[in-house]
Amino acid sequence: MDQALIIQHWLVPVVRKAGAARQLLGAVRFGDATELLEELVSANPESTPAWGLLLRTHVSGGDPMGAVEASREWLESGASEAPSAADVQTLERSVAANGDAGYWSWMLGRLNTELEADTHVSHMDLAAANAGMGNDDAAITHLAAALAAAEPGLLTLRSDPVWDDLRRDNRFESLLCEAQDLRFSPTMRGWRGGGAERDPDNNR
């Protein structure tokens, strides 16, 4: 089989399951999203976006220590982009001391390190981490960029608790309305349902 076809064959179920997990997350079905993502990372341990979404789902569901355990499983999977043992220990200490905010602080540091290395980082990830840290202006800036790029994480704007402190901000309400319109566009339907043309490693 051609190498490109092999890669596409691997990507299609990953993209579809990640899209389904985002829909569950958007519907506040955190337990179902977690179960689906655990199956996904077990079958595809090199899918960094799936691991990231699993950690995020634990935090959104009010279980930041679950994110710590998931990060430890990620490390133990041997995946090439897994956090180091030191990173996991840092996350555990941060969450123990500050709960959700500890997770977001750790994640923002990780994302900034990736940016410094010229690695692609989704604007939705940056927006969520900044929102979790109370950096409202930065969160809005990255949300606007995510909307312009039609990133799939926009599906979580209506219900994910990380956005709760922004809901009184008129800028957020405007972006939410635009995201709702985009949800029914052909572009977003492809991202939700499993358009194989999108590389999940560029859309966490």
Domains in the chain: boundaries = 3-202
How much is the CA Rg of the chain, to the nearest whole Å?
Answer: 16
Q: Does 8 have pLDDT greater than 60? A: no
> What average pLDDT does range 21-35 have in this prediction?
90
Cα 151 from Cα 163, distance rounded (Å):
16
Q: Is the dihedral of CA 78, 84, 87, 88 positive or negative?
A: positive
How many of the other CB atoms lie within 10 Å of CB of 122? Answer: 21
Whether the model pTM is above 0.85: no
Cα 21 from Cα 37, distance rounded (Å):
7
Task: Give me the pLDDT at residue 158, please.
Answer: 87
**Domain 3-202: CATH architecture, name and number where available:** Alpha Horseshoe (1.25)
Say which DSSP state 163 is in.
G
Cα 23 from Cα 194, distance rounded (Å):
12
Task: Give me the pLDDT at residue 187, please.
Answer: 47
4-13, 45-54, 102-111: segment of lowest average pLDDT: 4-13
Q: What percent of the chain has pLDDT over 90?
A: 68
